[in-house]
Homo-oligomer: A and B are copies of this chain.
Amino acid sequence: MQEQIDQQWMQHALQLARHGLGLTSPNPPVGAVIVQGNHIIGEGYHEIAGEAHAERRAIADAYERGNANLLPGSTIYVTLEPCSSVGRTGACTEAIIHERIGRVVYGSTDPDMRHQGRADGVLKAAGISVCPGVLKEPCDRFLRSWFHAVMTGRPWVTAKVATTLDGRMTRRQKFWLSGVDTLRYAHQLRLESDAILIGGNTLRTDDPALTIRTPLQVPSLRKKQPWRIVLTENLLSLPPMAKLFTDEHHKRTLVWENVTDLRVLLNELYTRYGIVNLMLECGGRLLRRFLEEGLVNEWMQSISPMIGAGPDYVVPGEFLPQEFIFQREELTECGRDIIIRGTLG
């Protein structure tokens, strides 16, 4: 019974966490709800790194609602183990202890070396009851890109690929490959990304803007333009008047020349730029390099209803030295196209 109630509130906290998707890097998106007598007295989610964590926002919300007196003895549900180390904003365990919250229920354990369940001891020492691992699986899954970044020091890499039925990435005469519904879906993906990576060839051929142009479901006006990353073999070959260098977001464009080690680059993207979610929108040649190095975590392919449409294959060349097995997580009809999404093993 209590287990079901806990799961229900954790589900609510997870919903709150989703509002932070695409906003919080290098921090994880986290949601928290404080409950007293089976009523919400405060709730919140982490929005921007450097600002209050979800727990502190939920406590502040309780104050704003005039519920401060209900905090002692209440239960806080939070999707991720509360931090017990002092970061930019003070340990959340301290705030919980300070407000005399009676019980802490959380989903995922923080993989950061400084945490890893350490909150349990800190809270219990203050007489607070702790219940870890509620809805652990969906919480872990929701945070998987962040887990990956914390544990490997590299962003979670999602390859976004648009092909015809026979695996070609372009059409003749530069017609659009994807239908409008698929383009809208792709913009939604950009909302959840911290950076979008292309090659110099795509820049020269398509002159893309790589901006978020969907009017739908913008999670927050505080969403920054994702970083636009260009890998090129020759800096001077890039047209200086390209959109990426001249539009209002030109300061969000980064260029690397002759990257020899993609792992080093990815590590720099994470440690220096805080990029947790990286989306590849590059052509087949560069994509192949990422695949060959085993650096692609997620695969999102839209398949458009054409055969024999253009010269370029999604992964050109004879074959990869290694075959990748795809775990499908999603299959969607998207207008005339279909979208397949999953992870690579």
Contact = CB atoms under 8 A, between A and B. Distances in A.
Nearest to A345: B305
Contacts of A247: none
A307 B320 contact: yes
A303 to B, nearest CB: 8
A318 B313 CA distance: 10
A340 B338 contact: yes
Interface string A297-316: 00101010111111101110
A338 B329 CA distance: 12
A345 to B, nearest CB: 9
A314 B165 CA distance: 9
A342 interface: yes
Interface in A252-298: 291
Interface stretch (A61-69, A89-97, A166-174, A222-230): A166-174
Given A331-B338, A338-B331, A324 B299 contact: no
A307 B327 contact: no
A322 B311 CA distance: 12
A333 interface: yes
Contact of A320 (B301, B308, B318, B344): B308
A326 B305 contact: yes
Given A166-B314, A313-B166, A314-B166, A307 B326 contact: yes
A342 B305 contact: yes
Contacts of A310: 319
A158 interface: no
A326 B179 CA distance: 13
A328 interface: yes
Say how many copies of this protein the assembly contains: 2
A251 interface: no
Contact of A306 (B305, B306, B324, B331): B324
Given A165-B314, A308-B324, 12 more contacts: A163-B166, A165-B326, A166-B313, A166-B314, A167-B168, A167-B314, A303-B303, A305-B325, A305-B327, A306-B323, A306-B325, A309-B323
10 A-B pairs with the lowest CB-CB distances in the bound complex, closest first: A167-B167, A308-B320, A305-B326, A307-B324, A166-B314, A166-B315, A166-B167, A309-B323, A311-B319, A311-B318
Interface string A220-254: 00000000000000000000000000000000000
A318 to B, nearest CB: 5
Nearest to A332: B331
A144 interface: no
A204 interface: no
Contacts of A114: none
Q: Which of A163, A310, A315 has the most CB of B within 10 A?
A: A315
Contacts of A314: 165-167
A167 B317 CA distance: 12
A336 interface: yes
A327 B324 CA distance: 29
